Amino acid sequence: MPSSPAAAPPVHGRYEQVTIDELGTPLADVTFVVVDLETTGGSPKDSAITEIGAVKVRGGVVLGEFQTLVDPGREIPPYISVLTGITSMMVAAAPRIGAVLPGFLEFARGAVLVAHNAPFDLGFLKAACAENGIPWPAAASVDTAVLARRLLSRDEVPNCKLATLAPYFSAATSPTHRALDDARATVDVLHGLFERLGPLGITSLEELTGLTRQVDPERLRKRHLADDVPRGPGVYLFRGPKDEPLYVGTSTDLRSRVRSYFSSSEQRSRITEMVALAQRVDAIPCAHDLEAAVRELRLIAEHKPRYNRRSRFPERALWIRLTDEAFPRLSVVRRVRPGAGVFLGPFPDRRAADAAVAAVHEALPLRQCTTRLSPRVPTSACVLFGMGRCGAPCTGAQSVTEYASIADVFRAAVDHDPHGLVAPLLARVERLATEERFEDAAVLRDRIAVLVRAVRRRQRLESLAAVPELVLARADGSGGWHLSVVRRGRLVAAGGAPTGTSVRRTLPGLLATAETPVGPDDELAATVDETELILRWMEKPGTRLVDLTGVLACPAPGTGAFSSFLDLVEAGRAERDPFADDRSLGTRARPERVAAGAGVRARPPIGSPA
C-alpha cells in the first residue's frame, strides 16, 4: 500500500532542566507567621495563655500583625505580672482562648509558623486547640533558637536567647515579655539569620527545615573512632590534633555512648565543635559506676578539657572563714588552711557565699570591718554600731570574752548545732511575712537555705573525712557485688565480686592494691565533689557497709531539723521559675555543615529589595 505523504511532526512544549533552587519552595515566596505567647506558667497542663502576638511576613515585607489579650480563666500569679506587665484586671474583659483561636488560625492559614523556642509556644497553641475541639493545622514550623544554634558561633553570641540575639541583629524592637514586641523582635532575628543562609546555598523552605536535622558527613566519617571502645562502665576521653584532652565523659556502656557522638542524637553545640576536632578516643574501663564517676572528676580536674564545664576548676570553690584573731570576722576565701579559723563551704560561686555571709550577719552582730583589731588600742565605731548590727569591739565596748560568745554560735553551727544561728533567722522570716513584706522575707529565706545547705554539706564531708577506712558493697544486678574502698573520703580501690564469689575472700586482694592517702589523718583526702559522689553512692538504697575502721557518725543534732524547711524552699523555687528550661541554648563554634556564612552580616533578608 503506498504510503501517504509524511505528516508534519507534532509540536511539543520545550523541555528544560530546572535548577536545584527551583525544586523547592523559594524562601522569598514563603509566608511566615512569627508568633509569641505570654502565659500564666511554663506548662500547658497547669497554665493558660494570656496574650498572643503574631507578625506575618513574606520576602522581608510585613503583611500584617495580630495581637490580643486572652482571659486565662484564672488569676495571673504576681511574679508573672511582674515579668510581663499583664495583670488579672487587664484580661478581665478579654476573650477566652476558644474565641481567639479561630481568628489566629485564619491569620496564620497557609503560612509557616515561626517562634523562638517553638515547642513552648506551639505546645500551648496545640493544647488550647485540643481543649476547645479545634483541629490543629498541618503547618510547617521553624524554631529561630535552633536555627541560631546552627548558624552562630560562640565567639559571636554567648547564647541564643531572644534577649541576646535581638540586639546582635540590631532589631528595631526590643523583647519586653509582651507578645507582639517579642514577635516583632523575632522577625528581625529571623531576617538576620536568613542573611547567613544565602552564602550556604540554602534558598528553599525544604532546605531550611532540614537544616536542623542533618548530620555533618564529616561527623559520620569519624564513627571509626568508636570501633575499639569496649562495652561496660568506664570513662572516655576525646583527644584533639595535638593529643590534647578535649572532653572527658562517663557511661555505663562506653561503646554505645561514644558511638552516639557521631549520630544526629548529639546536638549540643560545644560537643559538635569538639567532635569536629577529635582525632582519637581513649577508653578507661572501670569496675562500676562510682569508679567511673570519680575517675571522670579527677581527669577533668587534672587536664581541664576545654569542652567540659562541670568541675573544670575545683580550686575556684569558695569558703567562708571565721578568722582566728581576738575579734574574729567573716571573710570569703579560696583556700582552707588548717588552724587558720573555722571554714564553712565550699560554695559554687561568689553569690552563694555572699548570701550565706549576709544570713550570718542578719543573725549575729559580728563585726564587718576588715581591719585587725586590738583589745588594747580602741578606735572609733562605724555606722553598723549605730544600727545595732555590731557591738563595737573596736571601741572597747565589747570585751574579747563577750565577743567570743557571739562567734561561738557560728562555730557551733558549723560543727554540730546550727539551731542557735538559724532559729532567729526563721523567726525573722515569719515576722516579715506577717508584716506583708513578702519580698524581704523571700530574700532572707533563700539566704537561710544557702547557709543551711552549706552547713549540712560541711558536716557530711567531715563525717566521711574522719573515717580511716570503710568498704561499701552494692548489688551489681546479676547476683554479684560492686565493691568500693574509701579512705578519708577518697575512693582508693574499686572492684567486684562476681556471682558465686565470696565478698570476704575478694577483699584482701582489693585492699592490697588500694592507695594510701597522704596528709593529716583528720583531713579530707579528696576533692569535695569526689567525696559527695561517694556519699550519694553510700546512701543509695541497697548499699551495704562491709567493713569499717574508726567511727562513721554525723554530729547531733545537726541539720536534720531543717530538712522540711529546705524541701519547702526547693518546692517554692520551682513555682517561682515556671519558665525554667533545661534545654541548651548554647551556640556552635563550628556548626554542622554551616561554616561558610561566618562573619556575613551586611546582606538584606532573602527576597527583600537590595
| Complete DSSP assignment for 302-343 | HH--TT--TTS-GGG-EEEEEE-SSS--EEEES---TTSEEE
pLDDT at position 244:
94
Domain span(s) for CATH 3.40.1440.10 in the chain: 217-312
pLDDT at position 398:
84
Q: Residue type at 364?
A: L
CA distance 36 to 176: 11
Strand arrangement of the beta sheet that strand 280-285 belongs to: 245-251, 234-239, 280-285
CA distance 598 to 152: 7
Buried b vs exposed e over 401-411: b needs ≥16 C-beta within 10 Å? eebeebbebbb
Q: What is the DSSP letter of 581?
A: -
pLDDT at position 164:
93
Q: What is the DSSP letter of 557?
A: S
Domain span(s) for CATH 3.30.420.10 in the chain: 21-210
φ/ψ of 360, rounded to 5, equals -60, -45
pLDDT at position 525:
74
Helix segments in 157-264, DSSP class H: 162-168, 179-194, 205-210, 217-221, 254-260
Peptide bond before residue 557 is cis, with ω within 30 degrees of 0: yes
**Residues assigned a catalytic role:** 177
Buried b vs exposed e over 293-326: b needs ≥16 C-beta within 10 Å? bbbbbbbbbebebbbbeebbebeebbbbbbbeee
Counting as low any pLDDT under 50, the low residues of the chain are: 1-22, 581-584, 588-610
Sign of CA dihedral 408, 414, 416, 418: positive
CA distance 206 to 454: 53
Spatial CA neighbour of 297 closest among 68, 457, 22, 529: 529
Topology of the domain covering 21-210: Nucleotidyltransferase; domain 5 (3.30.420)
pLDDT at position 395:
81
Q: Residue type at 298?
A: R
pLDDT at position 448:
93
Sign of CA dihedral 425, 428, 433, 438: negative
pTM of the model: 0.59
| CATH class entry, domain 217-312 | alpha beta
